[in-house]
Structure 1
Amino acid sequence: MKTDHYIAICVGMMVNAVLFGIGAITVLSIPSLEPYWKYLLPAVVVASFALTPFIARQIAPRLRLRNRRDALRT
């Protein structure tokens, strides 16, 4: 596997936690959604798992040192 894949896996765990947290807090903080919590929370879990790889693949290449050489020179 490429280094970008390893970085994407590590970043993906953090991205998944953030997406789940945002979704869970949003669902649980709206009182009118209380009757639907048992359906919406699993949907948040599935959505966070589905979106994680796409976001992690966008972030991973930017974390490589070779992409920051210009920033380090200044």
Structure 2
Amino acid sequence: MLYIIGGGGRMQNSIRALRTEGGVSQRELAEALGVSRQTVNSIETGRYDPSLPLAIAIARHFGRAVEEIFHAS
């Protein structure tokens, strides 16, 4: 189940842990996803919530469900 958070709430995510576990740099992940390294950094640090298509692309990249990566804070 995917939860949509309203009211300006931010989601937490496990992207940094998955990325470092897999030995992937922010730049490499960004290139694989077609976004900037700054975008990956902003998502990892919680300054930016990705669009649904980008969240799905991230989940697919790591072979996980979106709900395993993104969760309510």
Task: Provide the TM-score with structure 2 as the length reference.
Answer: 0.27
Structure richer in helix, relative to its length? 1
If the length of structure 1 is used for normalisation, what is the TM-score?
A: 0.27
Greater radius of gyration (CA): 1
Higher strand fraction: Structure 1 or Structure 2?
Answer: 2
